[in-house]
Amino acid sequence: MAKDVKSSDEQLRSVRETVESVWIAIVVAFVLRAFVLEAFMIPTGSMAPRLMGRHTEFDCPACGHHYAYGAGAGKNARLPRVLNVSGARCPNCGHVRRRCGEPTFGGDRVLVLKYLYRFREPRPWDVVVFKNPLNNRENYIKRLIGLPGQQVQIVHGDVFVRAGKDFDGNDVIDAQDFANPRMRTDPDCRWRILTKPPRTQEVMWQVIFDNDFQPDPAVWSGPGRWHSPWRQRAGQGGWDLTVQAGRVFRFSGAAAPAEVEFAADAERFYPNYAYNPPGKTPQDFNDLNYDLKLSFRFVPRQRAARVGLHLSSLRNHFRAWLGADGRAVLEHALAGRDGAVAWKPKVWATNTLGPLRLGRGYEVALTHVDRRVTLWVDGRAVLRTTAKQYPADRQRIIRAVREMLQSRPEGLPAPTVRILGQGGPFELSHIKLMRDVYYTSPNVYAAGDTVTPRPGWGTADNPMVLRKFFSAPDLDEFYVLGDNSPASKDSRMWGYHAPTLRGSELACRLNRRAHGEYAFLVAGKYKYRYRNGTVPRYNLIGKAFFVYWPGGYRLLVLRGLPIVPNVGRMRLIR
């Protein structure tokens, strides 16, 4: 009998401990969600193709390149089982889809560190989640660009910033400080281009053409017939571009440089996204992306072999050489106002790596990004332009674009992309041309106004000052952009805001007495009134750092629910 009572007590104790453990786990989960970590689903494609909303994915039937196409569904819209993808265009070969239906996937689900910014300041290029200033019931995810106390301007796809100072001593860095004459002479307040960290830059490259994915002409559908964009320049020999169905370029040797040119039209270099439905995003034909990456595997066969890579940006032309003897050279030439280049280059940099092993493959790349040209060998930067040689001068860029458009009213010229061979034989494989993100400068409309456009906030014709409040840091202003720039509703586009925001006109009137530190009258205006195009610090939720559930697959038995994660695409967010 005593044993039965003891056994019963142990069972009750075991049940009680189990219940306590479950409740503790629930409490811990709620505490983590409230204060440390929270999961969010991405409903739209403003950060595509790195972070995707509701979409479908497929291999191009012509070239086999894998890409995603947005479902265009909002947060509350029902996700269709099959998406009409007729008209979707492959970003690699340009094949236009004729088939209508493809199965859909849910948006990526991400983990967000909520209180990270209580311990450190937000940094440029962080991917952040925040309350949408247009509707505080929605969460947005964008890339953080501008910080409080800075002025931001997008110039031909790149972002320029300059820091301000509180010259008038009123505890706020605002537009009055940026208008102060001392801004022009203070060395800490100069404009500079906002360069990306290496890991962030690596994930932001997007394909223009990957030579490993050669389309089948019998399947390819598009304007005219398919022709490879890589062509040997007329009158020059030494190249065989047909090895392995065009996937390998073989150079037999020549005393003078022989060139292969990427002879594609300018449309290849527009900031178009295969993710976006065709015709849904406005196109400015002067939005040509000159931030490019040309890469391949170089296999020298003789010690005299020498390979060259050539890229251009507006009137600047850059050519990098790498020889099998290990000598690397970076050259620069300036085109005339008519665009013609008399190739009498200046040598900007040289380096000696040591003799390359014949028959071994070397990963070689030339990048032009954020006004910096770099030659890479096996992932290591071996040559790079200096700020003195190639200054990131926003006024010079604006002037160069204006001058080129005056001489070319039809639009800016497509970038020059070439591969050169000289000396002994070699082979090239895995040839790839990529482009960087290009931030567009659209016009926007104020709330209720569909007639009078104005330049977007922080764009080329409308630089934006982000205020910094030393006595009320919760009101600090940030500037955010989406990677899918043509389709992103971000700081550039916000022509109105929610009336419930602290510092909105309505909130200032209602709370002026209770929150005088947030809103007070100066010359008849509320000094701390919220401004369109900004994200206040109090609206920041946290930093997105991990995709834990990439767009779910559907089960055969539950086709209406995309509940199976794509485990292979779980990743850190850069």
Regarding whether 527 and 409 lie in a shared domain, the answer is: no
Q: Which of 389, 407, 435 is the last residue of a domain?
A: 435
Regarding whether 360 and 236 lie in a shared domain, the answer is: yes
The answer to whether position 200 is within a domain reads: no
Regarding whether 407 and 310 lie in a shared domain, the answer is: yes
Report whether the peptide linkage leading into residue 49 is cis, meaning its omega lies within 30 degrees of zero: yes
Domain count, the chain: 2
Regarding whether 242 and 327 lie in a shared domain, the answer is: yes
Average confidence (pLDDT) over 90-104: 83
Residue 142: half-sphere exposure toward Cβ, Cα within 13 Å? 26
Regarding whether 505 and 429 lie in a shared domain, the answer is: no
Instruction: Give the tokens for residue 497.
Output: 């805001």
C-alpha closest to that of 479 among 498, 459, 505: 459
Gap between the Cα atoms of 519 and 537, Å rounded? 16
C-alpha closest to that of 527 among 54, 36, 231, 174: 174
The answer to whether position 248 is within a domain reads: yes
Quick check: helix, strand or coil at residue 328?
Answer: strand
- Quick one: CA torsion of 332, 267, 96, 52, rounded to 10 degrees? 80
Q: Which of 435, 454, 473 is the last residue of a domain?
A: 435
Regarding whether 506 and 360 lie in a shared domain, the answer is: no
Q: What are the pLDDT digits (tens) for 36-46?
A: 578 888 888 99
Average confidence (pLDDT) over 48-67: 90
The answer to whether position 318 is within a domain reads: yes
Gap between the Cα atoms of 309 and 292, Å rounded? 12
Q: What are the pLDDT digits (tens) for 216-269?
A: 998 998 778 888 999 998 778 899 999 999 999 999 999 999 999 998 888 899
Regarding whether 516 and 385 lie in a shared domain, the answer is: no
* Count of Cβ atoms closer than 10 Å to residue 303 Cβ: 15
What is the pTM assigned to this prediction? 0.88
Whether the predicted pLDDT of 187 surpasses 70: yes
Give the pLDDT of residue 574. Answer: 87
- When computed from its CA atoms, the radius of gyration of the chain, rounded to whole angstroms, is 28
Regarding whether 308 and 424 lie in a shared domain, the answer is: yes
Distances (CA, A) of 558 to 54, 107, 108, 273, 481: 18, 18, 19, 31, 37
Regarding whether 253 and 401 lie in a shared domain, the answer is: yes
The answer to whether position 483 is within a domain reads: no
**Between residues 511 and 296, the one the model is more confident about:** 296
User: Residue 452 in contact with residue 445, Cβ under 8 Å?
Assistant: yes
Whether the predicted pLDDT of 67 surpasses 70: yes
The strand pairing partners of 392, in sequence order, are none
The answer to whether position 538 is within a domain reads: no
Regarding whether 525 and 383 lie in a shared domain, the answer is: no
Give one word for 448, left, alpha or beta, with left for phi > 0 and alpha for psi -120 to 50. left
The answer to whether position 207 is within a domain reads: no
Q: What are the pLDDT digits (tens) for 441-471?
A: 988 876 666 667 889 999 988 999 999 999 8
Q: What are the pLDDT digits (tens) for 118-139?
A: 889 999 999 999 999 988 889 9
Give the pLDDT of residue 513. Answer: 40
Q: Domain range for residue 318?
A: 230-263+290-366+378-435
Average confidence (pLDDT) over 461-486: 93
Q: Which of 402, 418, 435 is the last residue of a domain?
A: 435
| Contacts within 8 Å (CB) and 24+ apart, 376-384 | 376/295, 377/322, 377/328, 377/353, 382/328, 382/351, 382/353, 383/320, 383/328, 383/329, 383/330, 383/349, 383/350, 383/351, 384/330, 384/349
Gap between the Cα atoms of 94 and 115, Å rounded? 44
The answer to whether position 409 is within a domain reads: yes
Regarding whether 429 and 318 lie in a shared domain, the answer is: yes
User: Residue 459 in contact with residue 467, Cβ under 8 Å?
Assistant: no
The answer to whether position 398 is within a domain reads: yes
Regarding whether 421 and 527 lie in a shared domain, the answer is: no
CATH code (residue 248): 2.60.120.560
Give the pLDDT of residue 500. Answer: 73
Whether the predicted pLDDT of 520 surpasses 50: no
